[in-house]
Chain A
């Protein structure tokens, strides 16, 4: 059973455009939803995270939207820049047990100058 489904697999956006990546999760017990950014040859790095008690969190150009009833969350990158080109992973899991996170399959984002 795939706990976290992520789409699209790849995304090409013009510089200045909006990049949107979507994720859906299965387990209603999950209460921590981070997004990780991974550049080639590097490990995933925490980009932004949200808890289910809020519907949106914004940090600079990055926004997470969260829909608890639909069990979906998405990452929006406003004013996308070539430096944002990376692979983005969503994840979901419990926030306070240290048990495993379930990662999505990743989205390869390319921002064209």
Chain B
């Protein structure tokens, strides 16, 4: 079964440093998303991306965050200057279309655990 692949699985960074989280969405999917989950809390939407531009972003996704699809396969989330409160599990997701049905929707990756120290 096709998977969304995220690397690294765990990253530790110092406060103020830049991090790039990488995702390889499912190959025929056109819509890409980043969500995050602070430990023990709900999954929160960050951004959606289609046709090489941001479709929607949440208030969490401020100027410190950016996304990019640098080539035909990767989808990256960059945090320019990390803060302690950025520590979370970051999930990439992709979908084939905008239409979600009973048997299809997002496919999530396994996540990158970001720890800011």
Contact = CB atoms under 8 A, between A and B. Distances in A.
B108 A44 contact: yes
A49 B101 CA distance: 7
Interface string A98-109: 111111111000
Given A43-B91, A98-B50, A99-B55, A49 B103 contact: yes
Contacts of A102: 45
Residue from the set B41, B93, B108 with the largest chain A CB neighbour count within 10 Å: B108
Contacts, number: 74
Contacts of B48: 98-100
A96 B98 contact: yes
Given A46-B106, A100-B45, A95 B111 contact: no
Contact of B55 (A49, A51, A98, A106): A98
Residue from the set A45, A57, A97, A104 with the largest chain B CB neighbour count within 10 Å: A97
A63 B24 CA distance: 32
11 contacts: A32-B100, A36-B43, A44-B108, A49-B103, A95-B100, A96-B100, A98-B31, A99-B55, A100-B48, A101-B45, A105-B42
- A-B pairs with lowest CB-CB distance, top 10: A43-B108, A100-B45, A98-B98, A103-B43, A105-B42, A95-B100, A96-B99, A103-B42, A49-B102, A32-B100
